[in-house]
Copies of this chain bind each other. A is one copy, B any other.
Amino acid sequence: MSIAEVQAFSPSSGRLADHTTPFVRNEWYVAALSEEIDRTLRDRWLLGVGVLLYRKSDGSPAALKNRCPHRSFPLSRGTLDGDEVTCGYHGLTFGPDGACTRIPSQEVVPDVVRTRSFPVVEQAPLIWIWMGDPALADPTTIPEHPWLDMPDYTHVGGYQHVKCNYVRLHENVLYLTHFPFLHGEALGDVAYAQAPFEVAAEGNSVRITRRLEDHPVNAGYGAAIGNLGHRVNRTSESWFKTPAFHVAHATVEDLEGGVEGRTDFHFKILHMFTPESATTTHYFWASARDVKIDDQAFSEAGRKRTVSVFLEDVEALERIEAIWTREDDDFQEISVAGDRAGLLMRRIIARRAAQGA
């Protein structure tokens, strides 16, 4: 793609998703970490909708619209008995399918009295939700993320609330030139920012692969591998899979003998973005590695480092969202060559949104 082609994207806000684009509803999003949901009634806003999350008697998760269809009281302020939830205002009771099973002040319960239920699928440590047309909810389309289960990998993870639109979070992880400027050199230096990259689109997914050859290992991966000071080939494959899911495959190939005979090391960073509203996002993440997999102390230190880095992203993106909110002029973003993957992603989201929720 030439610069001219890239520029041609920019003024077309009608074609590039941004904070004004409707949500893509026919998609699986992470609703919660498995550990967050139990027999208490928990509420969370997802794609602009208040959702009630709880576990049924058999341990499986359930999700209802968290708004009594009668007078809008949040069902999460009611009570759970077996699999049924009773509203804490006038006492209407609803099953996990959304149907009303009792109205205290009358004997007959009309069929029309029901709240919405949402398909949910647990793949520990994650619980996925489908906010679109239930007839289209196919669990086999949940993006694969095997590294959270594989015996030769370990991972850490977390959650962060972010006051910015989810599209900007996707764009952030598709353009890693920001590493040295926003995060300092531990993640990647200016040579990494300038490394050549290739972009590939496949259906509704986009991949950008950046490769930096024969360069000193960055501090972050060097600490994990134990090869600080060695020269390595580093490959970063950032993959936008769905509006809800991005995975980065990072591979480090040690050019100076490696560590204890091993020369290839793998890192998988999962970014799971669930819109809360047009300008806020639930950011679930996990970072898996196939090195030092039994070193709990290292994992904990790595978790803290990752949180610290993500908070830098969050601060930057919240500042950007605030500028969009405050500055009421005819600002048009200008894109550069490195934005190609992000722009393709934004075209995909805009197209899917236009196709209807």
Binding site for B on A (CB under 8 A): 3, 7, 45, 48-50, 67, 69-74, 77-78, 86-92, 103-106, 108, 110, 112-113, 168, 171, 175, 177-178, 180-182, 190, 193-194, 197, 316, 319-320, 323-324, 326-329, 331, 333-339
Contacts of A339 in B (CB 8 A): 70
Inter-chain contact A72/B324, CB cutoff 8 Å: yes
Known: A89-B178, A181-B88. A112 touches B72 (CB 8 A): no
Residue of B nearest to A190 (CB): B104
For residue A168, which residues in chain B have a CB less than 8 angstroms away from its CB? 71
Contact of A113 among B112, B177, B324, B336 (CB under 8 A): B336
Q: Which residues of B contact A177 (CB under 8 A)?
A: 90-91, 104-105
- How many copies make up the complex? 3
The majority secondary structure among interface residues of chain A is loop
With a cutoff of 8 Å between Cβ atoms, the chain B residues found around residue A331 in the complex are 67, 72
In the complex, what residue of chain B is closest to A10 when comparing beta carbons? B112
Additional 9 contacts, C-beta under 8 A, given A72-B333, A91-B180, A105-B338: A48-B327, A48-B329, A72-B331, A73-B319, A78-B181, A89-B320, A90-B175, A105-B177, A105-B197
Q: In the bound complex, do residue B334 and residue A113 qualify as a contact, i.e. CB atoms below 8 Å apart?
A: yes
CA distance A286 to B319 in the complex (A): 34
Expressed in whole angstroms, the Cα–Cα distance for A78 and B319 within the complex equals 13
